[in-house]
Amino acid sequence: MPSILNSLKLLADPTRLRLILLLAEEALSVAELQELLGMGQSRISTQLAQLKKEGLVSDHRSGKNNIYSTQLSEELLHIATKAGAELAEREKDLASLRHILRKRKDKARAYFDELAGKFGRHYVPGRSWKALAEGLLKILNYNVVADLGAGEGTLAQLLAQRAKHVIAVDHSKKMVAFGKRLAKENGLKNLDYRLGDIEDLPIDDKSVDLAFLSQALHHAANPERALREAHRILKPRGRLVILDLLQHTFDKARELYADTHLGFAEVEIADLIERAGFKEIETAIVDREDSPPHFQTLLAVATK
């Protein structure tokens, strides 16, 4: 039986306490714990080894992964739970865990991830993700679509070929003027460029069917506020699509591209979307650039 005194000493450490409480909710792999806590593998493995030595966690092999679970007595679990209520990270940990569990259940995503790995592995003339994406955009059939942080409006112009009405919002007067000129030149009368900020959108409540944030959210001073604005303008059951950078360490992006945030982790973006009021949240890493710093693209979709 584990020593109560040694167990209490171990659980007094906030990181080990967070680990124990997460494992009390669900058996998890080291990789999942890394994603949940945003910590390196060596740090988590060291903490787990200490907990395992004292008999507070156990592990079993599943494929290539070791899966950890708690071995706490009811009394120790009760104490750990009460102590966990004092942790500032507790609510965020639980939200991140919900996202991890959603990903586990998404068998369709795993299947399509496998297909995505095969697509483009062998060269086929004329076949590319760019061509496929543009083709799919042309068959979208929505009434009102908003392109938030539209920039020069490339996406908005593609959407305008199918949607009844597209609202493109950007905070740059030059970008809006450029976009309006292109829309006029291409005869896109259903494309409406508006000057505004993604954190304070010039769009009516519940007036949009589909909202896009394409490489715009990492420029927001307050991403959660921007997501709440997207939630406000969407109709009930309206859809949100986000394309942004996966969290990275290329700090020069702040200077080179005026980035406010260095991308987002999957669990972080899912948590922000959920706090903004959305449901049915799915995320995936859909691209990785070949050239340094090897930016990766994060896709998230959700429903109001």
Which CATH number is associated with domain 108-303? Answer: 3.40.50.150
Segments of the chain scoring below 70 in pLDDT = 1, 105-124, 127
Q: Which CATH class is domain 4-89?
A: mainly alpha
Confirm whether pTM is higher than 0.85.
no
Fold match, 4-89 / 108-303: no
pLDDT of residue 140: 77
Picking from 66, 75, 56, 69, the residue whose alpha carbon sits closest to that of residue 13 is 56
List pLDDT tens digits, range 234-266: 999 999 999 999 999 999 999 999 999 999 999
Residue 47 pLDDT: 95
Residue 106: predicted pLDDT: 66
pLDDT value of residue 137: 76
| Domain residue limits, the chain | 4-89, 108-303
Q: What is the per-residue pLDDT for 120? A: 61
Structure tokens at 71: 């071995």
* Maximum separation of any 2 CA atoms in the chain, in Å: 78
What's CA 102's distance to the chain center, in Å? 13
Distance CA 236, CA 208 (A): 9
Q: Quick one: pLDDT at residue 70?
A: 93
